[in-house]
């Protein structure tokens, strides 16, 4: 049985976190700590799968000096990486954490422009990896130069090879990607509201919106909501997952960790209820770590015991 979880990150980034005691505008702010990680939503999924002992391979586009640094950062975590070289420079995303106020400022670069020839090389790379994949997760924003239907075409490519696809995107890219009928869709509440074109202020409204996506050919929809109950819908199943209360140090990567947990359990053949509970445990564990760190395996069991899942 195939158990490889392949992740696709078309707009990867080096995530740099600067921690300051407080911040002052129009004055010098000095960082008391600096941390760099290889990031991007798909990369985060691979990092968590690897941390939890799963099989994963990360695919991405890398370029320039920062691309080489990105490669070194990820390989230092013993994560298998396969990339296509591009002419542009891999982006740098900056998070500034204010210790006094417990707040963060996040600044993301747009990313390098991708040429058609570069993307065609990536498509060939993906095709070579699909025979070993149980799942392929398409996550995050698209860099300049790639059309809105990029994920649609990649999801369809995976489906033709009988590989279940996961999609985590936003806006028009998400709207187009759904047409490819991915197995799993994981929007947060705000992304789902933008997709549906209306506010979703109740549990019932979220469930109804998820069911509308199932009617379009998606098999599983999981809606996260920043520490509030998480909703999972599949066929006639509806589950509501309640994350335990924890001290949140950073929300970076919590949604990606949720995806990692869901997919790992689906690979094992576990039911949706169990997958949701495990995913929430990983997402919650990630929120307890500072900066751009994600979850640690040792922290998951006590959190998992406190996750509650009920029928919706």
How do the domains of the chain map onto residue ranges?
4-21+33-311
123-141 as b/e: b if 16+ CB within 10 A: eebbeebbeebbbbbbbbb
Catalytic residue IDs: 256
> What is the separation of C-alpha 168 from the centre of its chain, rounded to a whole number of angstroms?
6
Q: Is 168 helix (H, G, I), strand (E, B) or coil?
A: strand
Cα first-last separation, the chain: 32
pLDDT digits (tens, 9 = 90+) for 188-244: 999 999 999 999 999 999 999 999 999 999 999 999 998 799 999 999 899 999 999
pLDDT digits (tens, 9 = 90+) for 110-152: 999 999 999 999 999 999 999 999 999 999 999 999 999 999 9
pLDDT of residue 292: 76
CB-CB contact of 165 with 155 (8 Å): yes
Cα(95)–Cα(229) distance, rounded to whole angstroms? 26
CB-CB contact of 261 with 280 (8 Å): yes
Tokens, residue 104:
């963060």
Mean pLDDT across the chain, nearest whole number? Answer: 94
Is residue 265 pLDDT above 80, yes or no?
A: yes
Is the CATH code 3.40.50.970 the one for domain 4-21+33-311? Answer: no
- Name which residue leads in pLDDT, 252 or 23: 23
CB-CB contact of 13 with 42 (8 Å): no
């Amino acid at each position: 049985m195939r158990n490889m979880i392949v992740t696709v990150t078309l707009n990867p980034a080096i995530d740099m976190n600067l921690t300051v005691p407080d911040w002052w505008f129009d004055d010098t702010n000095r960082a008391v700590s600096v941390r760099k990680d290889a990031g991007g939503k798909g990369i985060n999924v691979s990092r968590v799968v690897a941390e939890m002992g799963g099989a994963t391979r990360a695919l991405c586009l890398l370029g320039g000096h920062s691309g080489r640094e990105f490669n070194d950062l990820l390989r230092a975590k013993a994560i298998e990486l396969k990339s296509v070289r591009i002419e542009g420079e891999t982006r740098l995303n900056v998070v500034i954490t204010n210790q006094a106020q417990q707040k963060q400022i996040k600044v993301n670069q747009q990313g390098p422009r991708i040429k058609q020839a570069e993307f065609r090389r990536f498509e060939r790379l993906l095709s070579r990896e699909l025979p070993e994949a149980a799942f392929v997760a398409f996550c995050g924003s698209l860099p300049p130069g790639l059309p809105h239907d990029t994920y649609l075409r990649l999801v369809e490519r995976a489906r033709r090879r009988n590989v279940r696809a996961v999609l985590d995107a936003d806006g028009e890219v998400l709207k187009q990607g759904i047409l490819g009928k991915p197995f799993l869709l994981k929007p947060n509440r705000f992304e789902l509201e933008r997709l549906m074109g209306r506010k979703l202020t109740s549990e019932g409204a979220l469930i109804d919106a998820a069911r509308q996506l199932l009617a379009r050919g998606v098999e599983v929809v999981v809606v996260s909501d920043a520490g509030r109950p998480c909703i999972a819908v599949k066929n006639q199943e509806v589950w509501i997952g309640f994350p335990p209360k924890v001290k949140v140090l950073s929300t970076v990567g919590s949604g990606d960790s949720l995806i990692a947990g869901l997919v790992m359990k689906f690979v094992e053949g576990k039911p949706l209820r169990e997958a949701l509970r495990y995913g929430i445990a990983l997402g919650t564990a990630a929120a307890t770590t500072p900066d751009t760190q994600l979850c640690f395996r040792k922290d998951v069991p006590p959190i998992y015991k406190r996750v509650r899942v009920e029928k919706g």
